[in-house]
Chain A
Amino acid sequence: DGGITQSPKYLFRKEGQNVTLSCEQNLNHDAMYWYRQDPGQGLRLIYYSQIVNDFQKGDIAEGYSVSREKKESFPLTVTSAQKNPTAFYLCASRRAPTGLGNQPQHFGDGTRLSIL
């Protein structure tokens, strides 16, 4: 079945450590997104990518980095510069990179990141 796979489901970070969250999709979607969700709040955009080898900052990119070396993969690294990384992280993809359209974003099951 086509979909978006995020791993791991739960992740713990130590002080000063970088951690990488995986996001893989087999939907053949061009655009991919990373969102952060804090308890009781909506989603905020961290980074997005429309095509391979290209990505742009979203609203809260500080302390995060991404890469897009393959169409299927869009990993997110939470660096030690992100002082409050505890949150739920959701990866999404969308078929068309441009155009308003009615194509929804499809989401993975998320990764919960906590500080040790």
Chain B
Amino acid sequence: AQKITQTQPGMFVQEKEAVTLDCTYDTSDPSYGLFWYKQPSSGEMIFLIYQGSYDQQNATEGRYSLNFQKARKSANLVISASQLGDSAMYFCAMREAISSGSARQLTFGSGTQLTVLP
């Protein structure tokens, strides 16, 4: 079974509007962390935002916020006031306390390609 599911291969949004990128996850670990990364066409992975499983409040970082619904196992990324430079691939990833072992590796979803239209 997929541990991280991103159901939207591609999304379009008008400049200055908000957009939500979906991410659902599957884990039996009580302790885990969720990350969102942005990958522009140049290839580098840019860390955007983090949400811990025990965090009481949804994470926010500037124009990025995370809509964390623990019972539904979803961690959707919300980008407000979209800019042309937001066009990129976006990946949701999870780090599990137990299942990832000593590596503390990240498990990635397949990504969502966001295109911001002028």
Contacts and interface: CB of A to CB of B under 8 A. Distances in A.
Contact of B43 (A42, A104, A109): A109
A98 interface: yes
Interface residues of B, number: 28
Given A31-B104, A100-B95, A40 B42 contact: no
Contacts of A108: 44
Contacts, number: 72
Contact of B47 (A44, A98, A104): A104
A42 B105 contact: no
A74 interface: no
A10 B47 CA distance: 23
Contacts of B106: 43, 45, 105
Given A42-B91, A48-B103, A100-B32, A88 B43 contact: yes
Contact of A100 (B4, B47, B97): B97
Interface of A: 31, 33, 40-45, 48, 50, 56, 58, 88, 90, 92, 94, 97-102, 104-110, 112
11 contacts: A43-B91, A58-B105, A97-B104, A98-B102, A100-B32, A100-B52, A100-B97, A102-B50, A105-B106, A106-B47, A109-B43
